[in-house]
Amino acid sequence: MNANKSIAILLSILSALFFAVTFVFNRQISLKGGSWIWSSSLRYFWMVPFLLSVVLLKKQLKHLHLEISKQPLQWILWSTVGFGIFYAPLTIASAYAPSWLVASTYQITIIAGMLFSPLINKNNFKKPLSVKTFALSFIILLGVFLMQLSQAKTVNRMELFFGIVPVLIAAFAYPLGNRKMMQITDGNLTALQRTLGMTLCSLPFWGILSIYGMASQIFPNQDQIFQTLIIALCSGVVATTLFFMATDKVRKDEKSLAAVEASQSAEVVFTLIGEILILNAMLPNTYSFIGIILIIIGMTLHSIKNQ
């Protein structure tokens, strides 16, 4: 494994730890009656001052503005997809399924990223995907299927639908938005700059969503405001920046990029531990544990296989 790939995978696993905060806290907010509208939009509103202050201190804001001004509509479109269409459905799903199940279903994003590659990148990558790469990813999908099969026996159809379909939308939206923005920026921005730029360009989406919430007489409570602040710092700022750093390092190598995205499966383990410790959740049953093990095996094989 070359140095770039090793560092990228370590960064991705570290980001998965901070991303796990999102799944656990969103579940906690929903169990207390908090609306998904504010769980999603407040996170991105909180991210702006933190990211903006760091980029300003680094004197990198002018450069970011110049990059956005080159293709403003593309920035708004793909930031809305990568942040808005990604995160709003995840918060909806948290009201219908345990956080560890949402996190495990979301791992379909690994396959989604690979499916988008031929459409987005065409022949720009040095190394095409192999059958082996897809096979390792399908091990992860088998694990997800077993977990969903187990959950299907304990919930009604509506809960199953809203616990799965929104997550599938998010799983495709995030890699699509991220890969398109990597293509647009082409390594010209730091991970922090790109995170801030995408956050700013997704604000119209969050603004519209917030207006809808207020018009519907839905408002956040004090606990939700505080918890979305924690999510914004851990997941929105730290985790997103680490993940962008990881994907930027291997953006020219599709095999390595697939391995980095696969290492995000560590979210499942971190989320399960968090739900047990913080929400006092019951342990998953045997089928779910087998699914989790398959996800970990798939992630590990992705990470250590030869280039």
Question: Which pLDDT band, with edges at 50, 70 and 90, does 306 fall under?
Answer: very low
Show the CA angle centred on residue 251, arms to residues 112 and 174, nearest 5°: 35
What does the pLDDT look like over 239-292, one tens digit per residue?
988 988 888 888 777 777 777 877 787 888 898 889 888 888 777 778 878 888
What is the span of the domain harbouring residue 19? 3-304
Percent of the chain with pLDDT strictly greater than 70:
90
When the pLDDT of each residue in the chain is averaged and rounded to a whole number, the result is 86
What does the pLDDT look like over 213-237, one tens digit per residue?
999 999 999 999 999 999 999 998 9
Domain count, the chain: 1
Q: Which positions ≥6 away from 236 have C-beta within 8 Å?
A: 43, 44, 46, 47, 195, 199
Percent of the chain with pLDDT strictly greater than 90:
48
| Cα distances (Å, whole numbers) of residue 294 to 92, 145, 148, 304 | 26, 10, 13, 15
Question: Which pLDDT band, with edges at 50, 70 and 90, does 128 fall under?
Answer: low
The secondary structure of residue 126, as a DSSP letter, is: S
